[in-house]
Amino acid sequence: MRIEICGGIASGKTTLAKLLSETGVESVLEDFSKNPFWELFYLNPGKYIFETEVTFTLQHYHEIKNAQEKYSRFICDFSSIIDLAYAKIGLEGNKLNIFESIYEEVISDIGQPYLIIYLRCSAEDQLRRIKERNRSTERLITVEFLHKLTVSIENLLSTIDSYTKIITFDSEKSNFETNNNEKKKLVNLIMENMNH
């Protein structure tokens, strides 16, 4: 059973994965620093998106394949939907066709996730969180880019909701990191969906 957490930048994906690991679910966390292109991507997304997204897609594919051999159920703080969403807003023509071929091959091998947890968060709030965490590589991210990414993610989720379970949780209004009631509510909702 594979669960993927989906959402925009700084929407709370890693925080949630770590929180769920406390319930006994194995967590698989993205190590974005392994991607040699990600820093260049944030400096100039238009120029470096193809190699960045192909690398992230294959990196995620490899991490999921390894996890499938080790664990009966696990949660990823990344989602293949996000990889495709980035590609949809940044690639076109032959590069997009090549990316989609790679993506389809990956999904045909590892399958769709059992459950996707979508952390909804406005582009404005994502940008506020990005500024608060103050990573030098993220300083050029704009609210326009975050809005495009959010729209792309939501469009893709609407195409798979007939065959993949999706839980949508508003991580902007509900702070599950510090609010124990919100934390309990979200964990219970996820555990219920894992057990059905």
Domains of the chain in start order, with CATH, are: 2-194 (3.40.50.300)
pLDDT at 196: 62
DSSP alpha helix (H) spans, the chain: 13-21, 38-43, 45-70, 80-90, 93-110, 123-133, 143-160, 180-194
Contact yes or no for 48/91 (Cβ under 8 A): no
**Residues 55, 45: Cα–Cα separation, whole Å:** 14
26-28 vs 2-7, strand pairing mode: unpaired
* E runs forming strands in the chain: 2-7, 26-28, 74-76, 115-120, 165-170
33-42, 112-121, 178-187, range with the lowest pLDDT: 178-187
- Which pTM was predicted? 0.88
- Higher local confidence (pLDDT), 70 or 179: 70
Q: Kindly state the average pLDDT of the residues 88-107.
A: 96
